[in-house]
Amino acid sequence: MMTDDDSGQTGTSERNDRLVNALLDGEHRALARAITRIENREPGYRDLVSRLYEHAGSARVVGITGSPGAGKSTLVDKLAAAYRERGETVGVIAVDPSSPFSGGAVLGDRIRMGSTVGDMDVFVRSMSARGRLGGVSTATTDAITALDAFGKDVVVVETVGAGQSEVDVVRTADTVAVLVQPGSGDDVQMLKAGILEIGDVFVVNKADMDGIERTVAELTEMIHRRSDGQSHADPDEPAVNDASWQPPVVETVATAGTGIDDLLAALDDHAAYLTRSAEGERRELDRIAEELRRLVRNDGNELLEAEIRRRGGIETLARRVRDGETDPYAVAESILEPLRDCLGPGETATEAEGSAPERE
């Protein structure tokens, strides 16, 4: 009874049939409902995503990240309008953090999105991070699949560039644009925190503010250093960027729509680069591999959580360790034992380090 997926199999299967057909027919309501099912992990959502998957794969996915107040939503709004002008349809996923206290969230990205009013070919969906570890990126990936299957030409994913899960979210994109604002020391800090590595295009927004030259210069220097220092990077961490792509720095004033054409051109350049170089394919493989790992990990975690519950719950186990009855390694071992028996020993991280006893 790990998931609800097998309960009422026929019911959800028929419902998914109807939903997928309506979605492929271009019904916005069906698309919205599909994303809800995906986001809520409702019974049958896996089957739903599987069915959508075969219709997806043609959309370009653009990730936009930056610190709060950098102007992401406004920029996304203008970008969506620019894509529409070229006759392309657009999906937008705006991810906002949720309150760690109530779990609720105020999703305010729509406030800035007024350029494409009345145009249902821009489909904007707000998502809250809902405090799920790694859950946002899985839900986002699946929501992109839904928008892609619906037939959107471009899908823009917008998120605050603050932490690992947000970085994971934008990494589901083909092209990542990182937004900074002039004269903001915070943004430089953010770039240090690992956002720099994921940017394919850098955007200095609010380019009408003071300090623009300095910010552009700093940014350009950091990008140069990044490509120089690539060889020192952790070999386990796949280099996100090929050295042959030099991320451009684009200046925009999103509120006035200035520089949007330049940004669009830079995004197009990167898309073209992905197509002509091997980088596009490699990125796609990386992305799918990461998704596979995530799915397996999530499900594995759930199986293990269930096993922990069967053994009296984590608190009971913790208490036994605290009371000196046993130790953490022995408890973990006993929980994992059946799994290991099933799958064969394999080489776990601890064994690789040589710090755990040998197992036959």
Partner 1 sequence: MSADTDPERRHRPIRSLVAKVGLDGHDRGAHVISRAFRDAGFEVVYSGLHRAPEEVVQAAVQEDVDVLGLSILSGAHNTLVPAVIEGLQSYDAFDEMLLIVGGIVPDEDRERLREMGVDAIFGPGTPMRDTIEFVRENAPRRE
Looking at beta carbons only, is 70 or 146 nearer to partner 1?
146
Q: Which of 148, 158, 88, 95 is nearest to 119 (CA)?
A: 88
Cα 58 to Cα 174, 228, 279: the distances in Å are 12, 34, 17
Nearer to partner 1, 165 or 175 (CB): 165
Nearer to partner 1, 130 or 282 (CB): 130
Rounded-to-integer distance, Cα 300 and Cα 327, Å:
23
CB of 129 to partner 1, least distance (A): 11
Residues recorded for the chain? 360
> Shortest distance, CB of residue 8 to partner 1, whole angstroms?
9
CB of 268 to partner 1, least distance (A): 26
Answer yes or no: are the C-beta atoms of 200 and 176 closer than 8 Å: yes
Strand partners, 100: none
Residues near partner 1, by CB under 8 A: 1-4, 28-29, 32-33, 35-36, 40-42, 98-99, 101-108, 110-112, 114, 117-118, 120, 123-126, 128, 130, 309
Write the CB contacts of 292 (distance below 8 Å, at least 6 apart in sequence).
none
In this complex, which beta carbon is closest to partner 1, that of residue 28 or of residue 340?
A: 28
CB of 192 to partner 1, least distance (A): 31
Nearer to partner 1, 112 or 171 (CB): 112
Nearest CA to 138 out of 296, 346, 303, 330 is that of 296
Q: CA 170 to CA 61: how far, in whole Å?
A: 9
Minimum distance, C-beta of residue 227 to partner 1, in the bound complex (Å): 39
**3-class DSSP assignment, residue 128:** strand
Rank residues 28 and 192 by Cβ distance to partner 1 and give the closer one.
Answer: 28
For partner 1, the closer of residues 48 and 274 by Cβ is 48
Which one, 131 or 257, has the nearer CB to partner 1?
131
CB-nearer residue toward partner 1: 35 or 266 = 35
| Alpha-carbon span 346 to 104, nearest angstrom | 41
Comparing CA positions, the residue from 150, 142, 156, 257 lying closest to residue 201 is 156
Least distance from partner 1 to the Cβ atom of residue 306, Å: 8
DSSP assignment of 35-73, as one string?
HHHHHHT-TTHHHHHHHHHTT----EEEEEEE-TTSSHH
Taking the complex as a whole, the smallest distance from the CB of residue 213 to partner 1 amounts, in Å, to 33
Question: In angstroms, what CA-CA distances link 145 with 75, 80, 103, 324, 346?
Answer: 23, 18, 26, 49, 33
Q: Taking the complex as a whole, how short is the minimal distance between the CB of residue 254 and partner 1, in angstroms?
A: 16
- List Cβ neighbours of 47 (8 Å cut-off, separation of 6 or more): 5, 12, 13, 16
DSSP letter (8 states) at residue 326: S
Q: State the nearest-atom distance from the C-beta of 117 to partner 1, in Å.
A: 5
